[in-house]
Amino acid sequence: MADFGDRWRVFFIAVILSVWLMIIDGLNFCLNFDEDEDSADWAKILVLISGFLFAIPVLFGAFLLLIWVKPKIGALMVIIPSIIAGAMRLIATIIGFQDFWQEKYLDSTTSGTTDVAVACLQVYLIFDAFYLYRQVGKITADNNYEPVDLTDRDDDYN
């Protein structure tokens, strides 16, 4: 079993990001879709989908990693949606939203900081979950457990 501190760290960051993106991307655009008239509709839909696509599987995957039940599946439930939803969100915020690039440098910096912070945390979460994914195979080797090789069976009992 991987160290509890590593599992707790992934769980903590995943829960914070999941709740954060569920609220600001998923629920916010569900409830206030028509209020933002400056942004393209496709960008709003992409961010809405990425909020839910990230939040739900990553939350369940982080929980599986925390309790160490099906850890490889849990790690993949964190890694794959983080890559897909992160790319979707980054494309939508950079290309589709008009508030990312504004006329004043300070306004661009403050409006784009959240997007950059979310992307950085998603990348960190991907690498940390990949570390736990790799730990699953190493754990059995450290316990001196050698699985029985079933490919070298002799089924000819004639």
Is 129 part of any domain?
yes
Is 32 part of any domain?
yes
Q: What's the pLDDT tens digit per position in 109-149?
A: 666 677 788 888 889 989 988 888 888 866 555 555 545 55
Is 155 part of any domain?
no
Domain with 71, as residue range(s), is 4-140
Better-scored residue on pLDDT, 3 or 74 = 74
**C-alpha pair distances (Å), 154 with each of 117, 147, 148, 157, 158:** 57, 17, 14, 8, 11
Is the whole model's pTM more than 0.75, yes or no? no
Is 157 part of any domain?
no
Is 104 part of any domain?
yes
C-alpha–C-alpha distance, residues 123 and 79, integer Å: 9
Domains of the chain: total: 1
Is 152 part of any domain?
no
157 token code pair: 């009992």
C-alpha–C-alpha distance, residues 115 and 111, integer Å: 8
70: left (phi over 0), alpha (psi -120 to 50) or beta: left
